[in-house]
Amino acid sequence: MAEATFISAAHPSQGGPATYFRRSFDVADGLVRASLRVTALGVFKAYLNGSRLGEDVLAPTWTSYRHRLHVTTHDVTAALAAGENVLGAAVGEGWAVGPLSWDMVRENYSDRPALYAELTLEYPDRTEIVGSDETFLVGEGPVRENGIYLGEHYDARLESAWSEPGFDTRDWAPAQRLEWDLDALVEGEVPPIRRQQELAPVSIDRREPSRVIVDFGQVVSGWVRFTVKGEAGREIVLRHAELLTSDGELERETLRKAESIDTYVLRGGRSETWEPAFTFHGFRYVEISGWPGELDPDALRAIVIHTEMARTGSFDTSHALLNRLHENTVWSMRGNFVGLPTDCPQRDERLGWTGDLNAFAPTASYLYDVRPLLRSWLADLRAEQAETGRVPDTVPNILTQVMPDPTALWSDAAISLPWQLYQQYGDERILDESYASMVALMDQIEQRLDDGGLWSRGFQLGDWLDPDAPADNPAGGKTEAHLVAQAYLCKTTRELAATARILGHRADADRYDALSERVRRAFREEYVSPRGRVTNESATAYALAIVFDILDDDQLAHAGNRLAAIIAKSKFTIRTGFAGTPLVTDALTKTGHIDPAYRLLLQTTCPSFLYPVTQGATTIWERWDSVLPDGTVNKTGMTSLNHYALGAVADWMHREIAGLQRVAPGWSRIRIAPQPGGGLAHARAELETVRGTASSAWRLDGATLTVEAVIPEGSTAEIALPFTGESHEVEAGTHRWTYEIDPADAARGTLTIDSTLNEIVVDHEAWQRVLAVLQGAMPGIPIEAGLAHIGDQPLSALIAQIPAEGIAARITTALQNGES
């Protein structure tokens, strides 16, 4: 009975071929059950007698390997037969060995790929174990190069029956032991990465006789599978990108140093189907060169991968661009939940940044059931925090340079993420698992406060990627970084106090309640005037003070008015970064400014939520202007086109537009309170909660409003009917109200010829229809340029000066989504 250990080749991989392992063993008659526990330093594919085991890809997923390395268990009873059998595995560099981060540092965990395998054979009278040790043999195969950033080079001419009985192993060498703490192995805690969807090409553009550009219509994470037939030795090269240049070539600026190139060398003679196994790419477009003959679109599929998660939430409205914004948010989450919640899936980064996830967590936990993945990620956070004494900026952390001090929003993930998961799922175990981590972070922050309770020392990332920050300093936005830190501290102290109370730590709860009041008082003394004006006069400063309940009730109205004025002054373009964006629409809503919130959301001028949508975006961008209006990439070195953080506004869309609101943990108490506006005719949000389906929907037909709600078993709800002031208490079931409202309320946000030009321009689709009418009436006149100085005037004033017959009626039709 052999004890399994990690094994490897004799020498470091140095970026070369994948490592192939095999072990021949005998199975006696009477086998009752067989199971295989397997993992690797790197990513692996396991085989028995030539057949691939399991559906997981890129296993083991990236965790904090030294603390938690995931082991997969397969029932392999049916794959074995009496007599000789062969256990095989191919192991690529993956995250353990290959280069990571923009520094391209190799060997973050190991200098070579390594395998751990334990095959247990159960007989009626005994148990035998085939464990990875020096009796395994090591060789090479068709995978000649591989890397997460690099791509994969596969030479099909080198394919063989290497994992089957009878294979000639004369060129193979004995494996060597590799020291690794087996206590780090964990099972059942990490959900797998799997293929989720296949996309067909939407277009193929032939650039040269044997070179084409393929558009799959959607930015995704994954790779391309293809079927080809050609002569032996022909190389097919696939280069990946998120965007095309103006002349239709790949724009690879967003990849930075990640090559993202797959190469396949044909075996020849018959049809061959291939997809990579040791890499993945963030892409929409693929350049394919070397293809023999005509390329049939049916020969290609983009394979979409992400961590196995159940979809739970949906959202829909009558506004096409808004629906696409929400869909872009979903796709960015899918593209970045590949093993762990990353910032981006395409470039030389793909790291688990804590702040990105913290900002996005309410949206993420609505769209998908993220409990298995994020509880695993939090376990890594706790392990690395315990080892180093600080919450890492990225989890797992491999950065060579780290911020020495806790940073608001980023470090806060240790407190706010467990709190968010508890609120969504109602499971106190999530809080209990992280409580020591939460306390350790808060105690560390408290030591950095001055005598007045102000967090005024140490580096902060502030309102990261404020659109007004210098291109070379994303942390240098309008809002003072320590104001942001103090505001978030007001939030996390309350969350920690509440957590302590829930878990029965009453002394801690009292202590953190007192700290919460201390830091809130310090914020107000430093940053808030008696009437409620907030230092910096920025949208983010006001949003933080309003949403985090830092202001007194008598200050809220003034602060809300100031925020609305700031938003209006910017012509309803967005002026917030990672810290303020998830909150600004909530702050407007909380202070009674729902119409400005809608106008901010529906603006299409850069920078805005919908500007990327008007530019053809299919995911959320890292910067508001990652692609400039002329179609070129913003060359700042930070222009990912798949970066979910700024999609955090979807949480507000679910709660305020559709009106589906959680009042108590686990959705035991619900509030249905939709806020129709923005010219929308209907909206709906539906969520599969831990108690069952909950939904809120409304539809406006003229002045008739219908509100529908579905409440799951075990929940109660308050229904706040829009425009009536009425509320109703209901139990589980389906509920419906239809009633007439004031025509003025029905028209809220609806565009008419009396709307100002600024109001109309916010709605990109409506403005394009109006513009078409105006250009038809005044051909050859540069209308948009001429209107720039009268944006605050009603459209009717302009129409009155145009002699074209029936133009008012045509523009009215255009504004009502009719034909222009």
CA–CA distance, 810 with 769 (Å, rounded to integer): 10
CA distance 29 to 97: 41
Residue 675 contacts residue 662 (beta carbons within 8 Å) = no
H or E element at residue 606: none
Distance of CA 493 to the CA centre of its chain: 26
Closest CA to 226 of 245, 252, 204: 204
Q: Is the dihedral of CA 116, 121, 127, 130 positive or negative?
A: negative
At how many degrees (to 10) do helices 481-502 and 539-547 cross?
20
Those residues whose C-beta lies under 8 Å from the C-beta of residue 648, and which sit 6 or more positions away, are 359, 360, 362, 363, 581, 582
Helix (H, G, I), strand (E, B) or coil at 430: helix
Catalytic residue (one of 242, 622, 686, 759): 622
Question: What is the rounded (10 degree) CA torsion for 161, 167, 168, 174?
Answer: 100
Cα–Cα distance list, 682 to 418, 674, 697, 739 (Å)? 34, 10, 7, 15
Burial class for 602, CB neighbours closer than 10 Å (0-12, 13-18, 19+): buried
Within 10 Å of residue 402's Cβ, how many Cβ atoms?
11
Per the CB < 8 A criterion, the answer to whether 86 and 23 are in contact is: yes
Q: Is 349 a catalytic residue?
A: yes
Name residue 287's beta-bridge partners: 213, 239
Query: Angle 591-592-593 (CA atoms, 0-180°, nearest 5)?
Result: 100
State yes or no: cis peptide before 607, omega within 30 of 0: yes
Give the distance from CA 746 to its chain's centroid: 36
Of 93, 152, 251, 349, the active-site residue reads: 349
Strand ranges of the sheet holding 51-52, from the earlier edge strand across to the other edge: 51-52, 43-48, 83-92, 19-27, 137-139, 173-174
Give 33's contacts (C-beta < 8 A, 6+ positions apart). Answer: 75, 77, 122
DSSP run (H or E) holding 160: none
Closest CA to 373 of 279, 308, 281: 308
Q: Which residue has the tokens 């910032």?
A: 343
The three state secondary structure string of 570-588 is CCCCCCCCCCCHHHHHHHH
For 224, the 3-state DSSP assignment is: strand
Cα–Cα distance measured from residue 733 to residue 711, given in angstroms and rounded to the nearest whole number: 5
Beta bridge partners of 612: none
Q: What's the rounded Cα separation, in Å, for the pair 486 and 454?
A: 7
> Helix, strand, coil: what percent of the chain each, to 5?
30, 25, 40
The CA distances from residue 504 to 439, 501, 508, 513, in Å, are 14, 5, 9, 14
DSSP string, 56-74: -BSBSPP--TTT-EEEEEE
Q: Residue 447 carries which DSSP code?
A: T
The amino acid at 815: L
Residues 6 or more apart whose Cβ sits within 8 Å of residue 770: 760, 795, 811, 814, 815, 820
Give the integer Cα–Cα distance in Å for 352 and 644.
12
* H/E element, 523: helix 506-527
- Which amino acids are annotated catalytic? 349, 622
